[in-house]
Amino acid sequence: MIGKLNHVAIAVPDLAAATALYRDTLGAVVSEPVPQPAHGVVVVFVTLPNTKIELVHPLGEASPIAGFLAKNPNGGIHHICYEVADILAARDQLKATGARVLGDGEPKIGAHDKPVLFLHPKDFCGTLVELEQA
């Protein structure tokens, strides 16, 4: 069902400092900050040869990332994202096995302008999993 690793999302308390770390210290290619108001975050994309890193920062106090950073003030890995060929088929197959899809269960348009779903971390070894239609 799952395809390649699309990205690893890292919640960061200081987006400018994290961007500089990846760009200046690690020599990575980074994007400009991209606000995602529908998701309550601002993201910076770090391009790697085989995948991406998303640096994720809260956009407003209601951001789901704000709660994560309250518990993890230094930041940390927030979720991993796998590609799937058909997000609705993947959702239905996962739900049939008892996996919980977060939200209303309907795909939303994610930061890469593709449909995404999130799966409950308690069902996946304590890891928040995002599925993105390839």
Residues marked active site are found at 130
Alpha carbon distances (Å) from 105 to 32, 40, 119, 120: 31, 18, 9, 11
Report the SS3 class of residue 92. helix
**In this structure, are residues 129 and 80 in contact, taking their beta carbons and an 8 Å threshold?**
yes
Residue 38 contacts by C-beta under 8 Å, 6 or more apart in sequence? 108, 109
